Amino acid sequence: MNETEFNALILKIESSMGTKMEDKLKVAFKGLNPEILKAIEEDSVELKKTVNTLVDENKNLVDAQKEQSGEIEALTAKLNEKTSNTHLSMKEQVMNLLEENKDKLIAMKSGDSKTNIRMTVKAVGNMMLSSNVTGQIPAGERESGITRIVRRNPFILELVNLGSITSNLWEWVQQANPEGDAAMTAEGAAKAKIDFDLVLASAAVRKVTAFIKVSKEMLDDIPLMESEINQELSEVINLKIDAQVLSGDGTGQNLTGITENATAFSPGSFATGSANEVTDPNNQDVLRVAINQIAIAEFQANYIVMHPSDAAAMDLSKATDGHYILPPFSTNANTVVKGIPIVTNTGMTEGDYLVGDFTKSGVRFREGLTFDVGYENDDFTKNFVTILAEARLVQRVKSNHYPAFVLGDFATDKAAIAKA
């Protein structure tokens, strides 16, 4: 049926109905089989029946569309209702709803006006970490490695005479008890006679140890754990060696340290009681006298060791008029006294000082710092590993060299050289 014939048919139908046909019905008619349209044109009864059927179907379609529109409006309203039973986003809730009710959606699309879908979602609100986040979200950014405990730096081995030893006992022979002296001798007269004793002295090698017992799981699961343990063991061993070489008391398994062999400050080395006493002495004055004490004992001091706080007190020394004091024998911002550099370290007791010729302190290692890993008792069945660190060494100052070191206390020694 061509367009002209179809329009004629529409006019005929409109005439039969007594009203103008809606465009939707026209489209519906146009989609019918041409043979059916021809039959409708020839049979007015069939024409009316077809028109009425189409009208009814159109009404049902309109009603179904209104029903679906209502459902959609209701769904939209419910999407905005406030509820606290879910933490899903709006998009996630809608997608879940459509997935769960796909059969109903198909029925609604087919014109089932009795099918409906209900949904309750969280209303849109302000999102904050304090109210909308459970747990650690977002994840924190963690730095690599482990922040170590801060300890002082070992220093004494940098000052002394270092070496190795192949025995567990360090021995030496030294002169003692000299007698007589050289003399100017006349022709034919008896010559001067002298003698001395030879004394064998020794110092024993001592051992410094530390170990950590750790599970195999900890070594496997924490990155760099083994290196951290090795560093920790190395650090504590070296600090113990440092403390022992400096101030070990020689009892039990302790080394005999430098301070144990040092001589006391002697104000008599600087004409105490004479006109050469010091007016208003300060720390620099005490150090200068100690350097002189070592010099008149025929040694050459090469280091001064003191606590950082005492060095700071020297820097802050002022005269009564407020200007800073820098004695002419103290240079490089108080870091050198009479040409002798100052070494500061918290390993030295605050208020004390040590001046000396540190070449006269000998340290010999029988065994340097070593690490061993092994099992102890039932460690194998319990998955424990022992990491052991140790070192063996000896320190000595020969008795003839004791005057090469002076150990003193600033407060006491300033009072000892003060002019009355």
Together in a domain, 93 and 161: no
The dihedrals phi and psi of 369, each to the nearest 5 degrees, come to -60, 120
Whether 236 has a pLDDT exceeding 90, the answer reads yes
Looking at per-residue confidence, does 76 or 183 come out higher?
Answer: 183
Whether 310 has a pLDDT exceeding 80, the answer reads yes
Together in a domain, 230 and 372: yes
Together in a domain, 318 and 380: yes
CA distance 226 to 183: 69
What percent of the chain is modeled with pLDDT above 70?
A: 72
* Per-residue pLDDT at 105: 64
Helix (H) or strand (E) holding 213: strand 206-215
Together in a domain, 86 and 222: no
Quote the distance between the C-alpha of residue 407 and its chain's center. 39
* Per-residue pLDDT at 84: 43
Per-residue pLDDT tens for 105-119?
A: 666 666 666 666 565
CA distance 153 to 364: 20
Q: pLDDT tier at 51 (50, 70, 90 boundaries)? A: low
36 part of a folded domain: yes
Looking at per-residue confidence, does 305 or 126 come out higher?
Answer: 305
* Per-residue pLDDT at 124: 63
Could you count the other beta carbons within 10 Å of the beta carbon of residue 252? 7
* Per-residue pLDDT at 249: 95
CA distance 83 to 188: 128
Beta bridge partners of 110: none
Q: What is the CATH number of the domain that holds 296?
A: 3.30.2400.10
Together in a domain, 31 and 101: yes
* Per-residue pLDDT at 16: 67
315 part of a folded domain: yes
116 part of a folded domain: no
Q: pLDDT tier at 257 (50, 70, 90 boundaries)? A: very high
Per-residue pLDDT tens for 338-357?
A: 999 999 999 999 999 999 99
Q: Of the candidates 75, 92, 109, which is a domain's last residue?
A: 109
Q: Of the candidates 73, 91, 109, which is a domain's last residue?
A: 109
Together in a domain, 237 and 357: yes
Whether 306 has a pLDDT exceeding 90, the answer reads yes
> What mean pLDDT comes out for the span 380-391?
91
Q: Of the candidates 76, 92, 109, which is a domain's last residue?
A: 109
146 part of a folded domain: no
* Per-residue pLDDT at 320: 77
| C-alpha separations of 76 from 65, 72, 89, 138, 202 in Å | 16, 6, 15, 32, 97
Together in a domain, 230 and 307: yes
Q: What is residue 417's three-state secondary structure?
A: helix
Q: Which amino acid is at 59?
A: K
* Per-residue pLDDT at 146: 79
**Structurally, how many domains does the chain consist of?**
2
CA distance 126 to 135: 19
Name the CA dihedral angle for 14, 17, 23, 25, rounded to a multiple of 10 degrees: -120
Q: pLDDT tier at 223 (50, 70, 90 boundaries)? A: confident
Mean pLDDT of the chain: 82
**Domain assignment of residue 364, given as a range:** 156-171+206-417
Together in a domain, 93 and 241: no
Whether 40 has a pLDDT exceeding 90, the answer reads no
188 part of a folded domain: no
Longest dimension (CA), the chain: 178
Q: Name the residue among 411, 365, 377 with its Cα closest to residue 170.
A: 365
Together in a domain, 163 and 103: no
* Per-residue pLDDT at 8: 78
* Per-residue pLDDT at 268: 78
- 374 in Cβ contact with 388 (< 8 Å): yes
CA distance 285 to 337: 9
Residue with tokens 């004409």: 271
* Per-residue pLDDT at 398: 96
* Per-residue pLDDT at 274: 60
Quote the distance between the C-alpha of residue 353 and its chain's center. 35
> What mean pLDDT comes out for the span 287-302?
95
Instruction: Copy the structure tokens of residue 409.
Output: 């206390």
| C-alpha separations of 410 from 216, 286, 418 in Å | 52, 7, 12
Q: pLDDT tier at 85 (50, 70, 90 boundaries)? A: very low
> What mean pLDDT comes out for the span 75-94?
58
- 389 in Cβ contact with 369 (< 8 Å): yes
> What mean pLDDT comes out for the span 14-21?
68
Together in a domain, 90 and 214: no
Looking at per-residue confidence, does 140 or 335 come out higher?
Answer: 335
72 part of a folded domain: yes
225 part of a folded domain: yes
* Per-residue pLDDT at 82: 47
> What mean pLDDT comes out for the span 167-195?
93
* Per-residue pLDDT at 62: 65
Together in a domain, 278 and 391: yes
Together in a domain, 163 and 101: no
Per-residue pLDDT tens for 198-215?
A: 999 999 999 999 999 999
181 part of a folded domain: no
